[in-house]
Structure 1
Amino acid sequence: MKRIVLFSGGSACRAINIALCGKAQLTRIVPAWDSGGSSKIIRERIGLLAVGDLRQALMTMAHGEGRAGDVVKICNARLSSNLGKDEALSEFLFYSQGRHPLLERMEPGLRGAILNYLKTFSSTVGNDFDFRNGSIGNFILAGATLAHNGDVNTAVFVFRKLCSIEGDVWASSLDSDLTLSATLKNGKRVDRQDVITKLSEEDAKVGIAEIELSTASGTPPTANTAVIEALARADLIAFGPGSFYTSLLPHLHIAEIADALADVRCPRVWIGNVLQCRETTDRSLGDLLQGVEALWARVQPQQGRLLTHALENRVLFPFEKTVGAFSYLSHGPSSNETYEAITGEYEDAWSRGQHDGQAIANVLLDLASRQSATTK
């Protein structure tokens, strides 16, 4: 099977991930700078790398591989958000003390490992921690990281074994103090990933000019060595779909990842989103990809283009059409394209604004196979 590496956020490429399972050796590369939701609370409390996107990608991989058993059901569980802190703690204890029916029926070794990780997490954060709306899977993964001396890669490896997952999922960096910032076109600075993804309508109209990925210490972000190894072996590397400025573009700001991408000779494909979002209001896919290549020219000035292909969803309306609050992403200018555009009807027939995972997977597998045939 072809080795495909997919840069993405935690959930946007879910359908594509599922469609590729069993047809490719898939590696997901997810952000390490998530600053919202349950990940934010864990980061602020104990300073761990954000685990939310890792957990989502692992659960998607498990589902795609047909391994959505009791462990996955537990890891996808989320505590109630409308309770007081004491009631939320009691709900957490229902899991961590092994009283949940799904935990009670697990074989002892598996159950013991999960409860150990929940106990490790609980003892570290203390009983005054705000468990409301927390993800049990995030707590397990954070507990596993703590139990293995803060080694996220080991925690992910153990997590994969718990769920019998074959595909790989890695954070692009192991730095636990990464912060994403954006500068708008009017000079306004917006800090933190979760704030950037929820730009006000006014700021979204102004638009993002550039982003910055930084560490608290001021040292440059470092790459996860597992990511570098995956890139070196890849038959195809894909970016997206996902939030352009907060899930996809920041990976290129990690110098070692950019260096590794400069060394590969396999197809490098950008999967265009179906819809605009707050981050890409009034932008076309052409605008965004020009931004990708402009950044690439700054970080790798001697390497020529980054992308070999771009997948563009065919917009079937001769007028502006929206799904909810957002318009379809148009193709935009093509005069400066340095990549091969592959246009198709990539929108899911049942979920408007979402990708048809099988349609995208078919294109990626075809490109990877053609590359192999050319290489031979």
Structure 2
Amino acid sequence: MKRIVMFGGGSGSRDITIALCQAGWDVTRIVPAWDSGGSSKALRESLGILALGDIRQALMTLAHGEGRLSNVVRYFNARLSEIPDRAALRAEFEFYVRGAHPMLRTMPPEVRRAIVDYLGVFESSIGPDFDLSRGSIGNFVLTGAYLAHQRDINRAVLVFRALCGIGGHVWPSTTDDEVELVADLRDGSQVRRQDQVTRLSGEQAAIGIERVRLHGAQGRPPEANPAALGALAQADLVVFGPGSFFTSTLGHLAVRGVAAALGAVPEVPKVYIGNILQCPETVDRSAADLLRAFGLGGGAGLLTHALVNRGWVPFERTERGHRYLSEGETLAQDGAGLHLFVDDFEDPWQRGRHDPQKVEMTLGHIADPSSEPTASAMMWL
């Protein structure tokens, strides 16, 4: 089995992760620990912990890809209701905490006990004003495991994997509880917190992001998770993206030790999978612009390959309100030293998203050049 390490967020590379699992790759996902929105926001603000939402989501994706859709996985995928009635919401939460859910009775006794125990730890750690709306049961269990095991996220992940029977791995790139993402815009201004960066205003998006930084404990850059570094040392292939470019992909290079670990394995291909659509983080950027940003983000010289979606027609197109990312007129010149796979990587049935099987086959060719490439326009520059 080829060992692939993927840097990204929880959902950006979901379909590709599933395709890799189904094709027999040994997958390790390395995800951000600095998400500050959604369910992670309530958990971080109430308990002072690192973001667990992307970790849980990536674990669920591995479970799907590995065909481990047990009742444990279905249970962890459940969410509480989104209702304003706090009393009703608390009663729904207690239904899970008391172990009253019928699905629990289908699980082995030791699994059932562990889940209820971790939910109990979680319940005892939150206050009466904690926002449970649309809360993920899997997030609650993972948080309970994290707190029960002395805030050791790697131990909590191993426990969660075992409960689900997952074979692959998911690690946050740092274990720092206090890590915060900061974006420096090109006019010198700053935007703090990941959730604010992903929702840049129209004016901020037009100015554009120059680079992103991470602030950990005492304002210092956070240290890399040893488990993530260990995975990189054993990888046969490393992939960045797709996903939110600055916050979920490039941000990992701001973790102290990650770039050095990548540089320590020069023989391992390092591939950037370019997004198909623009987002508020990449308004008016091209694929060439984003490749250049790897250098600004501390990744100069790290990439060996890039997958770039080809736009076949000379017209501006949009999907779901977002424009398609162009290749960039200077792609060939700026791609010097890279293997570029420039092809139609879009899923023909889901516009704006990657064709996961085609991406997987292309990555297979990169890992084993003796196999046939799928990209019709491969260039060595």
Q: Same fold (TM over 0.5)?
A: yes
Distance in 1 between residues matched to 2:298 and 2:195, nearest whole Å: 25
| 1:300 counterpart residue number | none
| 1:347 counterpart residue number | 346
Task: Tell me if structure 1 keeps the 8 A contact 2:319–2:351.
Answer: yes
| 1:291 counterpart residue number | 293
| 1:90 counterpart residue number | 91
Q: Which amino acid aligns with 2:130?
A: F
Matches within 5 A, 1:13-52: 13-22=13-22, 23-52=24-53
1:115 to 2:116 alignment: yes
2:369 counterpart SS class: helix
| 1:328 counterpart residue number | 324
| 1:311 counterpart residue number | 307
| 2:199 counterpart residue number | 198
| 1:282 counterpart residue number | 284
TM-score after normalising by structure 1: 0.94
More moved, 210-219 vs 308-317: 210-219
TM-score after normalising by structure 2: 0.93
- The superposition leaves residues 278-337 of structure 1 with CA deviations (integer Å, 9 ceiling, x where unpaired) of 10000001001111123336xxxxxx6111110011112220000021111111122121
More moved, 87-96 vs 266-275: 87-96
1:237 to 2:238 alignment: yes
Task: Tell me if structure 1 keeps the 8 A contact 2:8–2:242.
Answer: yes
Task: Tell me if structure 2 keeps the 8 A contact 1:235–1:371.
Answer: no
Q: Which amino acid aligns with 1:240?
A: G
| 2:375 counterpart residue number | none
- The superposition leaves residues 87-143 of structure 1 with CA deviations (integer Å, 9 ceiling, x where unpaired) of 211111111111222123222211111111100000011333221111111100000
Distance in 2 between residues matched to 1:12 and 1:319, nearest whole Å: 26
Matches within 5 A, 1:184-263: 184-263=185-264
Task: Tell me if structure 2 keeps the 8 A contact 1:252–1:296.
Answer: yes
| 2:79 counterpart residue number | 78
Task: Tell me if structure 2 keeps the 8 A contact 1:29–1:169.
Answer: yes
Q: Which amino acid aligns with 2:278?
A: Q
Equivalent of residue 271 in structure 2, options 266, 269, 272: 269
Task: Tell me if structure 1 keeps the 8 A contact 2:145–2:156.
Answer: yes
1:29 counterpart SS class: strand
Q: Which amino acid aligns with 1:28?
A: R
Distance in 2 between residues matched to 1:371 and 1:306, nearest whole Å: 23
Kindly, what percent of the aligned residue pairs are identical? Answer: 52
| Structure 1 residue 277 displacement after superposition | 0.4
| Structure 1 residue 371 displacement after superposition | 8.7
| 2:357 counterpart residue number | 358
1:5 to 2:5 alignment: yes
Task: Tell me if structure 2 keeps the 8 A contact 1:120–1:146.
Answer: yes
- The superposition leaves residues 226-284 of structure 1 with CA deviations (integer Å, 9 ceiling, x where unpaired) of 11111111111010001011001111111211110111121110000010001000000
Task: Tell me if structure 1 keeps the 8 A contact 2:214–2:251.
Answer: yes
- The superposition leaves residues 339-371 of structure 1 with CA deviations (integer Å, 9 ceiling, x where unpaired) of 111012211122111111111111111211239
Distance in 2 between residues matched to 1:328 and 1:81, nearest whole Å: 33
How much is the aligned-residue C-alpha RMSD, in angstroms? 1.4
Q: 1:216 to 1:84 in 2, by over 3 A?
A: farther
Task: Tell me if structure 2 keeps the 8 A contact 1:2–1:369.
Answer: no
Q: 1:119 to 1:330 in 2, by over 3 A?
A: same
More moved, 341-350 vs 232-241: 341-350
Distance in 2 between residues matched to 1:86 and 1:60, nearest whole Å: 32
**Structure 1: which 5+ residue stretches go unaligned?**
298-303
Distance in 2 between residues matched to 1:296 and 1:222, nearest whole Å: 15
1:255 counterpart SS class: coil
Distance in 2 between residues matched to 1:240 and 1:80, nearest whole Å: 31
**Structure 2: which 5+ residue stretches go unaligned?**
372-381
Distance in 1 between residues matched to 2:230 and 2:93, nearest whole Å: 38
| 2:377 counterpart residue number | none
Distance in 2 between residues matched to 1:151 and 1:296, nearest whole Å: 28
Distance in 1 between residues matched to 2:347 and 2:104, nearest whole Å: 36
- The superposition leaves residues 143-176 of structure 1 with CA deviations (integer Å, 9 ceiling, x where unpaired) of 0001111100000001000000000110000001
Q: Which amino acid aligns with 2:273?
A: I
Task: Tell me if structure 2 keeps the 8 A contact 1:61–1:165.
Answer: yes
Task: Tell me if structure 1 keeps the 8 A contact 2:215–2:222.
Answer: yes
**Stretches of 4+ aligned residues off by more than 3 angstroms:** none
Distance in 2 between residues matched to 1:157 and 1:139, nearest whole Å: 16
Task: Tell me if structure 1 keeps the 8 A contact 2:211–2:296.
Answer: no
Q: Which amino acid aligns with 1:86?
A: A
Distance in 1 between residues matched to 2:159 and 2:76, nearest whole Å: 14
Q: 1:371 to 1:137 in 2, by over 3 A?
A: farther
Matches within 5 A, 1:163-174: 163-174=164-175
| Structure 1 residue 211 displacement after superposition | 1.4
Distance in 1 between residues matched to 2:190 and 2:295, nearest whole Å: 23
